[in-house]
Structure 1
Amino acid sequence: MQRFALIGAGFIGSVHAQNLASHPDVDFRLVYDIDVQRASALAAQHGAKAAASLDDIFNNDQLDAVFIASSTDSHAQNLRLAADAGLAALVEKPIDLDLETAKSTVAYVERSGIKAMVNFNRRFDSAHAELRDLVRQGSIGSLALLQLTSRGPALPPVDYLKSSGGQFRDQAVHFYDLATWIAGVDPVQIHAFGSALAAPEIAEFGDVDTSISSLLFPDGALAQIDCVRHTGYGYDERIEALGSEGLAESERQRSGHVTLVRKEHARSHGLHGNWFDRVKPTYAASLSAFVKALEEDLDSPITLREGLKSQAIAQAAVRSLSSGHSEAIDYSL
């Protein structure tokens, strides 16, 4: 049994708490949040205890791992504390919104030797993983073009957007990670376009809600990622991989799979109403992969350095949006 503590009792923390409590190989022990009442309520719900402070977690020889799902600006600090304590760490993205801070944190954690993973959970979507396997096995020949789509049904609250790092760092970064993971090589250049169409007011702090990112891989293969914060038809996520000998597609998923046909009319299900309903199973799957790595002493399923790569791509996208030109991607640590 891997003895876990959870840091963060907000929405995503509550998702992780449910998965920690239900995992057969996890002993879910502690929850910490700056909101003590919220931590206590979540802990009680899942048979854990509320930690009075971070010291209760990081000065505790009865723990094996920590799940960091606290506010973005605390991820780097908590990773460093985990490294000092010798606790394995699973952390929500990003490591830190500031790329240089993220780099120094990764170097610090790597020196400690702890097992650490960035929770790019979409890698654990079964359809995306099957597409990736087909591409990497050569089933479609040489990869020529990846098309990735992420379109959300509703704009997040403006207060969230102000602290999110912007669409490229918050939303598109998941798909930069997927593109690199599927292709098996790192893109070298990016050209990004973006507009604030659904919410023009977010342009005041430099954000966009509709964007396209074009990636160039070393062998000339391309990827295009379109991201939209607000649609009128539901949550739409899909990937298409075009190769020299065929096509693989991880299709958009509907909220149901039965179509009723009566004479000339047909009634079928639409798309999921929100992003979480679409990707919920991937959170449990990513936790299971991390727990397996701990139990069997395997390499981290997604290393901090891989998380940095996706963040470096997002940073180059931000530069491209500002400059209006293609930008080289710097992966130096």
Structure 2
Amino acid sequence: MIPLIILGLGRIGAGNIGLAGSIPLSHLGAALSVGGFEIQGLIDPSEKRRRLVVEHYPKVNPDIVVDSLDALRLNHGAAIVIATPPEKRLELVTELLNMKPGLLIIEKPLSTDFETGQKIVTLCAAANTELRVNFNRRFDQRHIDLRAVAPSNPKTIILRYGKGLYNYGSHLIDLLMNWYGPIHSVKAIGNEYEPELNNGQDRNISFCCHLEAGFDAYCVGIDGLSYDQFEIDIFAEDSRLEIADGGVVFRQYRPQAGKHYAGYTQLEQIGSENIAPVGGLTELYLAIQAHFDNPKGLPGCNGYQALMNLAILDAAERSFSNGEIQTIPSFKR
């Protein structure tokens, strides 16, 4: 049995119950579904969240559902999940590394800023602790299959998002880099003419990414929407691939001459649209099992890749403020 500790019992930690039918959309749900994990600690300062976990998961020992790490006696070598807000990540990671975890899983983003993220990655490397940042689409089988048939040499990519650069924006950037490689530079589209509008909030910044592969991808941040926006269009010379509704819907298009008018060529959808919930957590826990059985090549977003993600978000903010192109530093991959 693999010892498992989860810090943060909100939606991604232990909630999202029944959100996608039988597909687990929380760390606790996925671990219990896969099996082979000994739940040693479920930690959250919220009495309401702890109570809901005890009510919804009767197989969990209520004695390990506690308000702090201090309430438990824990062994070294556990898989530890951090599903708490990112504001105090550095302090928390520093404390957890004293427990010598066998694996550290952090919910995206790695931290609230690049400098703090760099410290976290350095600490984990010094402690020889394997680190993964959970961008769940990396493990979702539908996205893995789609990547295999996606255009290998697109002309451009348009990514649209709401709900914040460090929230939905970070997911888009991870998918973009995972599929098409490193980003060389970032340039904001428009710039900050009213700095007082920031108020410390996670903004929806629009920016262009120039990839090392030689093409541009445009991230369009949209404010004021009453609905979720997380969509991607990948344009190739003779096709378009659409990822809609946060990855629930996939559509593929090919040119059709004379579709509406003689002499004009428009895109026609080919095949049926592919619709299914976005998973990835069950696959993550299967990968964790394999890693503990044979520690090699754990998939997912490692610390350096997560740091590159933060560097791009940071560059978008700086470019938004000063209007200049920001070159992304090189990273160990």
TM-score category, normalised to shorter length: 0.7 to 0.9
The SS at the match of 1:238 is: strand
Residue 42 (1) aligns with residue 36 (2): no
CA RMSD, 1 decimal: 3.4
Q: 1:189 to 1:255 in 2, by over 3 A?
A: closer
User: C-alpha displacement at 1:251, in angstroms?
Assistant: 4.5
Q: 1:284-323 residue pairs with structure 2 within 5 A? A: 284-301=282-299, 302-323=301-322
Q: 1:1-16 residue pairs with structure 2 within 5 A? A: 1-14=1-14, 15-16=26-27
The SS at the match of 1:86 is: coil
Residue 108 (1) aligns with residue 108 (2): no
Contact 1:168 1:314 (C-alpha < 8 Å) held by counterparts: yes
Q: 1:210 to 1:104 in 2, by over 3 A?
A: closer
User: C-alpha displacement at 1:6, in angstroms?
Assistant: 0.9
Once residues 256 and 331 of structure 1 are traced to their aligned partners in structure 2, the CA distance between those partners, rounded to angstroms, is 34
The SS at the match of 1:95 is: coil
For residues 239-294 of structure 1, give each alpha carbon's deviation from its aligned partner in whole angstroms, at most 9, with x where no partner exists: 3333456544434479899xxxxxxxxxxxxxx9xxxx964x23333343334333
The SS at the match of 2:206 is: strand
Q: Which segment drifts farther, 36-45 or 169-178? A: 36-45
User: C-alpha displacement at 1:304, in angstroms?
Assistant: 1.2
Residue 215 (1) aligns with residue 203 (2): no
Aligned length: 290
The SS at the match of 2:12 is: helix
User: What's the TM-score once normalised by structure 1's chain length?
Assistant: 0.74
User: C-alpha displacement at 1:208, in angstroms?
Assistant: 6.8
Once residues 98 and 237 of structure 1 are traced to their aligned partners in structure 2, the CA distance between those partners, rounded to angstroms, is 22
Q: 1:219 to 1:12 in 2, by over 3 A?
A: closer
Residue 177 (1) aligns with residue 196 (2): no
Listed as ranges, the gaps of 5+ residues in structure 1 are: 153-166, 258-271
Contact 1:2 1:27 (C-alpha < 8 Å) held by counterparts: yes
User: C-alpha displacement at 1:194, in angstroms?
Assistant: 6.5
Give the counterpart of 2:29 among 18, 22, 46: 18
For residues 106-165 of structure 1, give each alpha carbon's deviation from its aligned partner in whole angstroms, at most 9, with x where no partner exists: 111012112221011132344432332234xxxx4533322223356xxxxxxxxxxxxx
Contact 1:32 1:50 (C-alpha < 8 Å) held by counterparts: yes
Give the counterpart of 2:79 among 50, 65, 74: 65
Q: 1:21 to 1:209 in 2, by over 3 A?
A: same
Q: 1:268-283 residue pairs with structure 2 within 5 A? A: 279=278, 281-283=279-281
Residue matched to 1:261: none
User: C-alpha displacement at 1:31, in angstroms?
Assistant: 0.8
Q: 1:256 to 1:212 in 2, by over 3 A?
A: closer
Residue matched to 1:161: none
Contact 1:209 1:230 (C-alpha < 8 Å) held by counterparts: no
Residue matched to 2:104: 89
One-letter code aligned to 1:61: N
Once residues 249 and 168 of structure 2 are traced to their aligned partners in structure 1, the CA distance between those partners, rounded to angstroms, is 25
Residue matched to 1:192: 188
User: C-alpha displacement at 1:4, in angstroms?
Assistant: 0.7
Residue 239 (1) aligns with residue 232 (2): yes
Q: 1:18 to 1:296 in 2, by over 3 A?
A: same
Q: Per residue, is there more helix in 1 or in 2? A: 1
Once residues 74 and 185 of structure 2 are traced to their aligned partners in structure 1, the CA distance between those partners, rounded to angstroms, is 45
Once residues 153 and 182 of structure 2 are traced to their aligned partners in structure 1, the CA distance between those partners, rounded to angstroms, is 16
One-letter code aligned to 2:129: I
Once residues 256 and 174 of structure 1 are traced to their aligned partners in structure 2, the CA distance between those partners, rounded to angstroms, is 16
